Structure 1
Amino acid sequence: MQEKLINRTLLEIQDYLSGDQLRRLKDVLTIECSKYLITEQKNEVVIYDETSDIAAYKQFFVSKKIQGLSSRTLNLYMQTINLFMRSVRKPFSDVTTNDIRLFIANREMIDNVSKGTLARERGCIVRFFKWLCNEEYIAKDPGTRVEAIKVPKRRKQEFSELEVEKLRSATVNSKEALVIELLLSTGCRVSELVSLNFRDYDQENDSISVIGKGNKQRTLYLNAKAKMALNHYLKDVPHITGPLFFGQTVGKEMTSAGVQKLVKRLGYRAGVANVHPHRFRRTAATLARRHGMPIELVMNFLGYESIDTTLKYSMIGDEELKLSHQKFVS
């Protein structure tokens, strides 16, 4: 009963609190409720059905929000689960392994989605039903025997040194220069970039704290080019509080979409194809590896917990492999 009360409370208030606040509230409620014997007063009219699919669905997203998942990731989960449930049209407890397999097969053969999308959607569905089973909303997990999807490993290209210099030359104001230098110096995600705040900037150590993916804090470091770009920007837009750099309105932070548009315009002016913020992140990781940074430090640099994931962002090219072979094997 105690757990049901806590879950109901979190469900009702989730829209008004952040993931950190929800975690704190859950801890407080767990401690305080343990001091009392809680029983449910039965009424003739049932207002909330804890065992219903709707309740389970909502509670799943509360739990994921508490884990610190970003709103983008939560939306991907929601879209995938909604798509799957519209397809099977069954209660959660009646979903079978073959239902999930059939959904994946239809997505591949009829909707022609990529292997990467299939793997992501399978992951969302399987994790959802595993959670339902662990929380005892369903008796058996239909996702345990759903085969993993192999995604072809293709090397995604970072910017060449020439392309980086072309992009630098194409900047027409201090904000554009600051954006690309911060992306290259820190290897940060675009969501982290737009959340940078002046209060977290350590001018003495040329570093800035950021809350990254999974609500984890880490320190980003500015190299000489990024520090110079920031100084130039602060001369043009003097401020010591608020966002590190502004969007179209002074005082308001830039959006992720705004950064996407900015670097896309830069690419067009510079004559560089396929310019997007994530490619700067890949470039920063590859440059770090190329200059000898150990893979464990690259992992910390990018804010990852898995070396396997880090390696995907810092793959060594064929030419570098050839030079290394001549140096160490010949």
Structure 2
Amino acid sequence: MTENLIKNVVAAMQDSLTDEQLQKLENVLAISLHGLEVREECTQLVTSERHWERILKMYIASKRLENCAESTMIAYKRCISMLFIGLNKKIHEITTNDLRYYLAMYQEQRKISLSYLETLRHYISSFFTWATDEGYINRDPSRRLRRVKVPQKLKKPYTAEEREHLKDIAKTERDVAIMELLYSTAGRIGEVVSINREDVDFPNREIVIYGQKGKKERKVYLTEGCIYHLKKYLASRTDDNPALFVVDRKPYSRLQREAIQTMLRKLGTEAGIHAHPHKFRRTLLTDAGTRGVPLQEIQAYAGHAKPDTTMLYVSVKDETVKASFMRLMA
């Protein structure tokens, strides 16, 4: 078994290493594994014990009590279920090496990004830490899983020209109103699609939206452009659906997030712009920071629990840094 293991490892690395490096690898493996007994682990499907499913249900229930968004709970459930099905082991038998193996295989087979790999590690670690704290298992196998180092890429907001271009090529007044509202409110797409007509306070130019994360209400405001296009869109409506945005065909049901994502993706392709709903949120927060709105106020407007989260969204432009330096330091 040891000899086969060495052969398999060397064969898997032959396209990545030189002949000299392969020989070195084979020597290191032979020396390291000498005197050790290597046995193949039994991975037959465990059908007699599904205890992990009951534990997972309790875990999801605890996340629900913490006011986690429904989409987050679905992601947790899917991730943990796939883990147990993939490993085919009882919860108390899972080791740190099992978790490392699963994450490594998941990344290799699905070619996921480092960012998504870190998300999976976080989900897994959260579950096993909770299971240990609750006494379902004696030790936490995820404790020694290291965080994945994700390269920090600056996610750029829309430029003013890009936003205008998207509105110019929009197919309907509704689509323009959606883009104006996404920008003005810095709302998450799930928050925007849940808004009703009666929620819009036109005289005071504000909306109280119910946050997806943290389940907190917060007040957001509307620009003059947003007010103009919303009124123009609503004046064209002939239906009685209470939803602020509806599909443009009967029975005029509430517009869903997937429809907005598709609309923006098509406009972006046509304009040669990377366009998606969340980018409007980043753009508003960046513009607010550039124009001098204090970070604490931007944090409250965005509905963030921590200022660190806000800083991930607020891009600091080089020219702004230079202007401040020259004014205050030079």
Tell me if 1:126 matches 2:87. no
- Cα shift readout 1:235-265 (whole Å, capped 9, x = no counterpart): 1115786111212345521000111122223
| Alpha carbons 2:96, 2:141 under 8 Å: kept | yes
Residue 8 of structure 2: aligned partner: none
The one-letter amino acid paired with 2:104 is A
Amino-acid identity (%): 29
State the distance in 1 between where 2:251 and 2:206 align: 23
Q: Structure 1 residue 282: deviation in Å?
A: 0.9
Moved over 6 A (4+): none
SS in structure 2 at match of 1:325: helix
Work out the CA distance in 1 between the residues paired with 2:113 and 2:266.
Answer: 28
Counterpart in 1 of 2:6? none
Match of 2:111 in 1: 112
Q: 1:275 Cα deviation (Å)?
A: 0.6
The 5 Å alignment of 1:220-299 reads 220-237=220-237, 242-248=242-248, 249=250, 251-269=252-270, 271-299=271-299
RMSD: 2.2
Deviations 1:71-97 (A, max 9, x none): 322222122112221232211112122
| SS, match of residue 122 in structure 2 | helix
Please say if residues 209 and 220 of structure 2, whose CA atoms lie closer than 8 Å, have aligned partners that are also in contact: yes
- Amino acid in the other structure paired with 2:221: Y
Give me the whole-angstrom Cα distance separating, in 2, the residues matched to 1:182 and 1:240.
Answer: 21
Q: Residues 53-82 of structure 1: CA distance to partner in whole angstroms, max 9, x if unpaired?
A: 221112222222333323322222122112
Whichever residue aligns with residue 262 of structure 1, its letter is M
The superposition leaves residues 98-119 of structure 1 with CA deviations (integer Å, 9 ceiling, x where unpaired) of 2222223333455432110111
CA deviation profile, 1:263-305 (whole Å, cap 9, x unmatched) = 2233244x24211101111111111111111111111111111
**Distance (whole Å) between structure 2 residues aligned to residue 173 and residue 88 of structure 1:** 50
Tell me the alpha carbon deviations over residues 285-327 of structure 1, each in whole angstroms, 9 at most, x when there is no partner: 1111111111111111111111111111112133333333333
- Structure 2 counterpart SS, 1:61: helix
- Correspondence for 1:183: 182
Moved more, 125-134 or 237-246: 237-246
Relative to structure 1, is the Cα distance of residues 288 and 96 closer, same or farther in structure 2, using a 3 angstrom cutoff?
Answer: same
How many residues were matched structurally? 280
Residue identity opposite 1:81 in structure 2: I
> How many Å separate the matches in 1 of 2:115 and 2:209?
29
* Offset from partner CA, 1:3-31 (integer Å, 9 cap, x none): xxxxxxxxxxxxxxxxxxxxxxxxxxxxx
* Contact 2:156 2:315 survives alignment (8 Å): no
Conserved? CA contact 1:198–1:240, under 8 Å = no
Change (3 A) 1:239 1:209: farther
- State how 1:1-330 maps to structure 2 within 5 Å: 52-109=51-108, 111-214=110-213, 215-237=215-237, 242-248=242-248, 249=250, 251-269=252-270, 271-330=271-330
CA distance in 1, matches of 2:308, 2:62: 26
Look up the match of 1:45.
Answer: none
- Largest Rg, 1 or 2: 2
Q: Secondary structure at the match of 1:243?
A: coil
Cα distance change of structure 1 residues 264 and 112 upon mapping to structure 2, 3 Å threshold: closer
Sort the Cα spacing of 1:268 and 1:108 in 2 relative to 1 into closer, same or farther, 3 A.
Answer: closer
Instruction: List runs of 5+ in structure 1 lacking aligned partners.
Output: 1-50
Deviation (angstroms), 1:135: 2.0
Instruction: For 1:103, give the aligned amino acid.
Output: Y
CA distance in 2 between partners of 1:187 and 1:219 (Å): 11
Structure-2-length-normalised TM-score: 0.79
